[in-house]
Amino acid sequence: MNRYKFLVVEDNDLDVLKLRTTLKEMGVECSLSVVTDGEAAVDFLLKRGRYARVPSPDLIFLDLHLPKLSGIEVLGAIPNSRGLPICVVTGSGAERDALKKRFGVRRIAYLIKPVDRYGLLNSFRCYDHLRPIAEEISAMVT
């Protein structure tokens, strides 16, 4: 299995731990970069300041309720956000309509906390470059 680079934009340490643990239990080889507020997320994605040399993530796990800038404001601040591999992570399904209204129909994976194996597999299936992860993990289970 390839080693993937994921960006986690989450201010709750327990949610980051749950995601990290679930990925590990699934056997996903990955490195996680974690930022805890919306401003840091924008800087990371635009490769500004201390994030100037970070690699582009294979998938971005973006919480919508963040300090400084919300997840929706982060998406609005990134010029090419429609082309990014994003998995929105939130505590409620209500924000899905706000995303559709603000950004139109998008190919965004959407997870409701707590993150679980099946939600992650479905998120990976949303993106061609990550679909092999889901297929490989699913094959190991059957």
- pLDDT string in tens for the chain (142-residue length): 568 999 999 999 999 999 999 999 999 999 999 999 999 999 999 999 999 999 999 999 999 899 999 998 999 999 888 888 999 888 777 777 767 676 655 567 888 888 999 999 999 998 999 999 889 888 876 5
- Asked whether 37 and 69 are in contact (CB, 8 A), the reply is yes
Q: In the chain, what are the domain boundaries?
A: 4-137
Q: How far is CA 142 from CA 22, 89, 99, 139, in A?
A: 18, 27, 35, 5
Q: How far is CA 141 from CA 18, 45, 70, 88, 95, in A?
A: 21, 34, 37, 26, 32
Amino acid, res. 100: K
**How far is Cα 115 from Cα 99, in angstroms, rounded to an integer?**
19
Structure tokens given for 99:
């995303």
The answer to whether domain 4-137 has CATH 3.10.20.30 is no
